[in-house]
Amino acid sequence: MLLNVARIAISVGLLAWVISRAGLNQLLEAARQADPRPYALAIVLAVLGIIIRAYRWQILLKAVGARLSFRRAVYLYFVGSFFNTFLPTGFGGDVVRVLEIGEGATSEQAAGTVVVDRLTGFLALFLLALAALPFAGGLLPRATAWLIAAMAGAVTLGSLLLFEGRILRWLTSRLPRALSPAGDAWLGKTYGVITACGARALAGAVGVSLVFNLAQVSANVLAARALGMTVSAWTFFLFVPVATAALLVPISISGFGVREGIYVTLFAQVGVGAAQAVALSLASYSLDLACGLLGGVIYFAAGLMGLRQRT
């Protein structure tokens, strides 16, 4: 309870500070002048992104022998989007997906594939950042470009270490069996699912992730165009991964304040004013909010119709 109160206080404090820098009147003016057409297309891409990620998850579930229909996977992903949006952390929806997996998959299969699902998304996002660096690196200070390259390298190396399995099991072999990936407790079984996905499923998941992240970056570009920003699209391939990674740290509610501060800091390096950067950050959040609200409607409708926990 106290932790959530602290997160609310941090969110309000950071958001108030960022808005004071940007100017409330400037933000309202940016919203009034926004073009709704590219923004509407951005929402369509955001919703489509949920369906793409559900397909990615189903690829991984099938690889470990779980049986989950695509319709059920889409349903659970929308429900997860709702909880990710309205819970204090950015991964509460992942826990809900595991808890509500229903018949056709064990909790270990659900948890293991959810972890791989997340990681392949981050891996693809930072691979896109690496690919964009030669085209957009010149737009940024050298230190920022190197920081993004270092983050991409760390995500890639960490993902490969986790997926390979043997090195991590050796490194953690002296931990208590209940806490070790090499143990036979729930954590060990879940990690067994992670390493059992196989190269073919991992490659497929990364491929689907590339499609999703292209849609995500495009949605952010469209949101920027709706606000009249003319920043090069290449910069979004570099800034979106940094912002996405930072929002995983659960220090605020739904990333409020943190997201805005990151956008102001990053986009200032390419000549974007604080007001436009904050407006873009809020527009980006509104895409997640739209998906989360749709997921909430689906979740509560399923409860009223008695459709939960069915495959």
> What's the pLDDT band for 205 if we cut at 50, 70, 90?
very high
pLDDT at 90: 60
Q: What's the whole-number mean pLDDT along residues 130-152?
A: 81
pLDDT for 198 beyond 90: no
pLDDT for 182 beyond 70: no
> What's the pLDDT band for 260 if we cut at 50, 70, 90?
confident
pLDDT for 256 beyond 80: no
pLDDT for 77 beyond 90: yes
Burial of 156 (0-12, 13-18, 19+ CB in 10 A): middle
Q: Mean pLDDT over all residues of the chain?
A: 80
pLDDT for 11 beyond 70: no
The domain limits of the chain are: 2-304
Q: What is the pTM of this model?
A: 0.82
Residue located via tokens 């459709």: 307
Q: What percent of the chain has pLDDT over 90?
A: 23
> What's the pLDDT band for 10 if we cut at 50, 70, 90?
low
